[in-house]
Amino acid sequence: MILRNAEVLTGGFAFEKLDLEIGETISDIFMKDDRDIPAIDDVLDLSGCYVLPGFFDMHTHGAVGIDSMSYEDFSVWRDYMYQNGILNFFPTTVTGYRDEVISALEKLAREDEVVGINLEGPYLNKKRRGAHNEDAIRPADLAEMRDFQKESRGLGSIPII
């Protein structure tokens, strides 16, 4: 497929009107003065449209009624993210009791698309807890952190604030 007249975000962080040949990935980029654009029937005119690389959301607790702690159908969340240009994202937990966090990590780690998991809490400063459950905040525990890493198949990232 050829995407014609697209405003493409280039490596110099500027938009340039280009034609792209795509399949599973971008296979070729044509400048406006290129004469070697293949004659393909499958052409989409993107005049007035922008083409950007897929985004990466490093901190998302959920979307479309689904949250990282208790989701039932990960594909709904994943598909929503994809439809909005987010190709990779780190589901982010909230402070919870040990069993709640372990359950969330086990489920998230089973999803092929999950490349990392943010654990927000449970080792937070109670004075700066925001919306986190104060009763579930606790001092950092190395053994528990190891369990979290094990249950997340090494995908978990634990900030201590």
- pLDDT tens, residue by residue, 27-60: 888 877 666 666 778 889 999 999 998 899 999 9
The residue written with tokens 């208790």 in the block is: 70
Give the residue among 156, 72, 160 at the shortest CA–CA distance from 115: 156
114, 78 contact by CB (below 8 A): no
Cis peptide, bond prior to residue 122, ω within 30 of zero = yes
- Average pLDDT over the chain reads 90
pLDDT at position 159: 60
Give the residue, 156 or 130, on which the prediction is more confident: 130
pLDDT digits (tens, 9 = 90+) for 62-79: 999 999 998 888 999 999
Q: In what order do the strands lie in the sheet with 86-93?
A: 55-60, 86-93, 117-119, 156-157
Instruction: Note the pLDDT of residue 42.
Output: 87
Residue 45 CA from chain centroid, whole number: 28
Is residue 158 pLDDT above 70, yes or no? no
